[in-house]
Amino acid sequence: MDLMTNVGIYVLLAMGLNVVVGSAGLLNLGYAAFFAIGAYTYAFLNLNWHWPFWAALPVSGLVSMLFGLVIGIPSIRVRGDYLAITTLGFGEIVRIAFNNLDQWTGGPNGLLGISRPSVWFLSFENGLHMKLYKFSVNATPYFYLVLFLVAVTAYLLFRMCDSKIGRALVAIREDELAASCMGVSTLQVKLVAFGVSAFIAGIAGCVFASKQTIVTPDSFDFVLSVLILAMVVLGGMGNIWGAALGALVLGILPELLRGFAAYRMLIFGLLMIFMMIFRPQGILGSQLIRRELKGHRKEADSHGAS
């Protein structure tokens, strides 16, 4: 149950990153920063002002969204590799800041003693009355909490994909210039994508902090951003179920390969290489994504030949 709870958090992160990378076609290499901001927001609110989990949950998402908009405003004006470098730099800045602001973040030791969630429910023992249930080290309540958040997030993302904003994101991914000529406000739509993506990461960070009861900067390094990106690519960019499937595969794979610890990263690397060769659009990716990738490859070859 503990493993599946962690996988559920990965699913949330993968679905959030898929909004920017898969739907809008914007490469983000610093996504772990928004995850960290959500986790530290809850830790800070809980330890300093004793905010309960349920009150801090939306606030963590909103704070991450605010930072997503702040980094999105300068970042969306650049493309391709330059955007990737910008987001990578932001991710490292956030991690290093949390590591050095000892007075507020605890520095490398992090913040300890974060409260777990608690819920009131109707109990029929000794008559009808309300009873308080406190989460503990038992992972089962966290699993159902994460499962609920995954279901709500998936539903809202499907609704967004069928909306005007969702179609605008796909248009920008296909051809940003053509979308702009057709009246799509590309900068505004990109900001929406950054904000929604960061909000989901903030929610996941809040759940992560409450489950671990400790947050440290080492938990949000560049490797985590790459891992989440690999989940989106493996499952299928632009596909919500694909992002969830990629998170499920890469979340469980290390546990299945525990007996091959010395070769685990080698097997993981070979898996990604074979996926890029034989199915570059991902497990559940559409043929449209495959055609886009082939088109970019032919364009690169033609530039190289010239």
- Alpha helix positions (H), 50-128: 53-75, 80-100, 102-105
Provide the CA 151 distance to its chain's centre, in angstroms: 15
Can you say whether the dihedral through the CA atoms of 142, 145, 149, 154 is positive or negative?
A: positive
Q: How confident is the model at residue 21 (pLDDT cuts 50, 70, 90)?
A: very high
Examine the pLDDT at 262 and tell me if it is beyond 80. Answer: no
Task: Please count the helices (runs of H) and the strands (runs of E) in the chain.
Answer: 13, 4
Can you say whether the dihedral through the CA atoms of 75, 80, 86, 91 is positive or negative?
A: positive
Residue 168 near residue 150, CB atoms below 8 Å? no
pLDDT of the residue at 82: 87
**At how many degrees (to 10) do helices 53-75 and 80-100 cross?**
140
Q: Which two tokens stand for residue 258?
A: 């525990």
The predicted model gives 47-58 an average pLDDT of 96
Q: How confident is the model at residue 301 (pLDDT cuts 50, 70, 90)?
A: low
Whole-number Å distance between alpha carbons of 236 and 276: 11
The separation between the first and the last C-alpha atoms of the chain, rounded to the nearest angstrom, is 56
Tally of CB atoms within 10 A around 206: 32
Whole-number Å distance between alpha carbons of 278 and 147: 32
Which carries the bigger pLDDT value, residue 71 or residue 7? 7
Provide the CA 188 distance to its chain's centre, in angstroms: 21
Tens-digit pLDDT profile for residues 87-124: 999 999 999 999 999 999 999 999 999 999 999 887 77
3-state secondary structure of 296: helix
Structure pTM?
0.91
Query: Percent of the chain scored above 90 by pLDDT?
Result: 65
Q: Which two tokens stand for residue 145?
A: 């909490």
Query: Percent of the chain scored above 70 by pLDDT?
Result: 93
Burial of 225 (0-12, 13-18, 19+ CB in 10 A): buried
Examine the pLDDT at 289 and tell me if it is beyond 70. Answer: no
Least confident of 32-41, 70-79, 146-155, 180-189: 70-79
Whole-number Å distance between alpha carbons of 250 and 247: 5
Phi, psi of 214 (to 5 degrees): -155, 140
Tens-digit pLDDT profile for residues 194-240: 999 999 999 999 999 999 999 999 999 999 999 999 999 999 888 99
Architecture, CATH, for domain 2-261: Orthogonal Bundle (1.10)
pLDDT of the residue at 299: 54
